[in-house]
Structures are given as structure tokens and as C-alpha cells.
Amino acid sequence: MPMDVSRLLLEARQCLDSGQYDSATSKLEKVLAVVPESAESHVEALVHLGEILWQRGKYEEARDILKKAQELGEKRGYVSLSARAQRLTGNTLIDQGFGQLAERAYRTALEMFESVDDARGIARAYNNLGIISVDKGNFVDALRYYEQSLNMHRELGDEVGTGMCLNNIGEIHRFKGEYELAEGLYQESLVGDTERGDRYGQAICWGNLGAVSYGRKEYSKAEERVQRAVQIFNRLGTRDLVYVEIRGLLVGIMAATKRFAEGQIHLDAIWDAAEGLNSDAADIICNFYGGLLAQRQWNLSFARKHYNNCLELSKRARSFEFVLLSLMQLVEIEMLHYRVTGEDEYLEAMRNTLHQALDLAQRHNLHGPLVELMVLNALFHVESQNPEQGLEFLAEAKEVCHKKGF
């Protein structure tokens, strides 16, 4: 009986979307074994296989497969498939911290999608360009791209794309400290992922919801949510960048609740995953949480080393979020070092780092980080023997909290 290639490809796509990567790979390999390279279904199978390798954090292997798919697609005139391979190549690059190369790939893919009026491809590319804009700290452009992508996905009835956009818009609101808005968007995405049986999507939503609770310092709730995400990743066998990012939250939670031994277990786990990814983005996350765990145990020199590593990598990868987060933690480190030693060089370093962080938060209208920095600014003035000025900054921080509902 002849193989039903179209059915196999559809089933493979469904398995891929629900995180059943082994089943999807098995079906795709069957297609590749019997369909000639010149056939459109062969190129489509390669694109799906490249996507699975990307999701699993096997970036070099993914790029090799996607390059072959792109070349075959261009040779045979399968423009949309070639563009998809180009866009997914961008995904592998951004996960490794190569933002400029990723942006180039996304813009090339967008042009290709537009040339054949591929609405779904255009919507996906807009979403990717939104991620690039976030990494640059350009939240206005990011929201514009995300909202364009969201509207197009909804018109197409593309629930997977809709869920991605909801999560990404939620990320902007969470980083700005607008937790209620972020929570609502993540919950909406979670409902859709659950109805579709998309386990990978559910893991992302639970991790993002955990990040909201972590930001609110609701550590018990945060731990419960993040653990649900990690359990799903474990069942899927996923050790990609998203796994590193979400499990990293558990390091932060353990540090905040002084469960340092447990925190070290989670830190070791994300370092192990990062080593297999060859990714600056993963190393950024590991260094940040390594610094956080060391700081909470008063190993200030070790924490400083990790935060500086995180800052250097973040600047190289143009990861705006972790540039700001690293600077904020370094402000705390300088203050703590000054309190321990009484040496003015630490107070001066605190002032300089604080001004850099405040400038970023104010320029990008990030109220959540701004409140924390205003409190640190108040503490700086107290340490500088200027308590009256410190009280003024605390009053300003309180006013911002009141206005924003923090």
C-alpha cells in the first residue's frame, strides 16, 4: 500500500506542535526515505526536522538541515518553504546570542514571504522581529510587531501563532512591572495551549506565570508554577534555551527563600543544559542566576564576577533585559561591599552603576525596574550621609507604586 505522505506530514506537524519530538522525527524520516529531494514534501519534511532540532537546542545540526532545505527550496521554486527555513535559521542564531545575524535572517525571510503573499509566514516573521526589538530595548517597535503578528494570526485562525504572540506581549508587560496585564495574557495563551494539547506551549506559559509570581515576590506560588513547567520539559526531554531560562527561575526562588543547596542543584542543571547549547544567551542566564545565588550567601566577590560576565555577554549579544538586570544587581553588590569595608571606591562604583541603570529604565519607561532603582538610589544617598535626599527618593518610589498599582 503506497505511503500517504500528506497524512504523515500532517501528523508530524501535530506531534511537533505538541512537543512529541521523537514521534515527529520518526514520521519525517519515513517521508525523507521515500520522497525524492526534488519533491516539495521532501523539503517540507526537512524544514520540520530542522525546527525539531532547534527546539531541542541542537543549533548546528538544525542549521545544516535548514540550509539544505533552503537551497532545495530556492532551486525548485518552493519560496515559502525556503523562507521558513531562513526564519528558523534566525531562531537558532538568536538563541545563541547572535542577534544581528538573526535579524538579517528574519528580514530576508520576511521579504521572501511577502514576495509570494504568504500571510502566515509574514505573521511569524513579524513576531520574530518583535523579539529582536525587545533585545534592543525598543519596546514600542516590539509591541507594534507583536500586535501586527497577533492580528494576522487571529485572522488566519492560527492558534499556535496567537499563543506565541500573547506570551511575547505578556513578556513586555511583565518586564515593565505590569504584572496583572502579563498574567492575563499568559492565562489566555495557556487555555489555548491546553485545549490543543500543546505541551511545550503549556510549559512556556507555566514558566511565564511563574515569572510573574516571582516578580511579585510570591515565591511559593512561583515555585509551584515553574515546577509544573520543568516537569513538562522533563517529560519531553527538552533542554533548550527556554528550559534554561525557566528552570533558572528556580535558582532565584531558592536564593530568595534561602534554600541554597536546592538552588545549587538547579544551577548545576541549567549549566549542564547550557554546555550542550553553545549559546551566549544560555550562558547569560546561568551567570546571572549564579551571581544571585552567590550574593544571597554573601559571597560578594564571586557574585560580582558572575554579574560582570553576564553584563559583558549581554552587551555582546545585545540582550537589553539582562544588561539592565546585571547593572541592578551590581548596584546592590557595590552597596554591600561598601557596608562591609567602608571604602569610598565602592560607593563611587555604586553611584556610577546606578546612574547607568536608572538611565536605561527611565529611557525605556520601565516602571517595575525603575521603582527598585529609585529605592537603591535612596539607599545610596543614605549611605552618602544625605538621608533627607534619600527620603525624597523613597517618597517618589512610593508615588510610582501607587500610580501603577504595584
Burial-class residue 279 by CB neighbours within 10 Å (0-12, 13-18, 19+): buried
Is residue 86 assigned to a domain?
yes
Domain end point (choices 271, 306, 341): 306
Q: What is the pLDDT of residues 161-184, one digit of tens each?
A: 999 999 999 999 998 889 999 999
- What confidence score (pLDDT) does residue 95 get? 86
Is residue 162 assigned to a domain?
no
324 and 251: one domain? Answer: no
pTM flag (> 0.75): yes
Is residue 259 assigned to a domain?
yes
Q: Predicted confidence band at 1 (pLDDT cuts at 50, 70, 90)?
A: very low
Please count the structural domains in the chain: 3
CB atoms within 10 A of CB 302: 15
Residue range(s) defining the domain that contains residue 261? 239-306
Distance, CA of 313 to chain centre? 15
Is residue 269 assigned to a domain?
yes
286 and 349: one domain? Answer: no
Percent of the residues in the chain that have a pLDDT greater than 70, as a whole number: 99
Is residue 129 assigned to a domain?
no
CB atoms within 10 A of CB 165: 27
Q: What is the mean pLDDT of residues 340-351?
A: 93
Of 178, 175, 154, nearest to 166 by C-alpha is: 154
Is residue 279 assigned to a domain?
yes
- Which segment of 4-13, 340-349, 397-406 scores lowest on mean pLDDT? 397-406
59 and 109: one domain? Answer: yes
Q: What is the pLDDT of residues 264-283, one digit of tens each?
A: 999 999 999 999 888 888 99
112 and 6: one domain? Answer: yes
Domain end point (choices 64, 95, 116): 116
85-90: list long-range contacts, CB under 8 Å, 24+ apart: 85/46, 85/47, 85/50, 86/112, 87/121, 87/124, 87/125, 87/128, 88/47, 88/50, 88/51, 88/54, 88/62, 89/50, 89/62, 89/63, 90/128
Distance between CA atoms of residues 224 and 217, nearest Å: 13
288 and 335: one domain? Answer: no
Domain end point (choices 306, 338, 359): 306
Output the CA–CA distances (angstroms, integers) from residue 328 to 52, 64, 103, 241, 324, in the order listed.
36, 39, 28, 23, 6
Arithmetic mean of pLDDT over the chain:
93
Q: Report which residue type is found at 6.
A: S
Residue 75 in this model has a pLDDT that exceeds 90: yes
363 and 281: one domain? Answer: no
Residue 223 in this model has a pLDDT that exceeds 90: yes
Q: Which residues of 116-127 are buried (b: 16+ CB within 10 A; e: fewer)?
A: eebeebbbbbbb
405 and 348: one domain? Answer: yes
110 and 13: one domain? Answer: yes
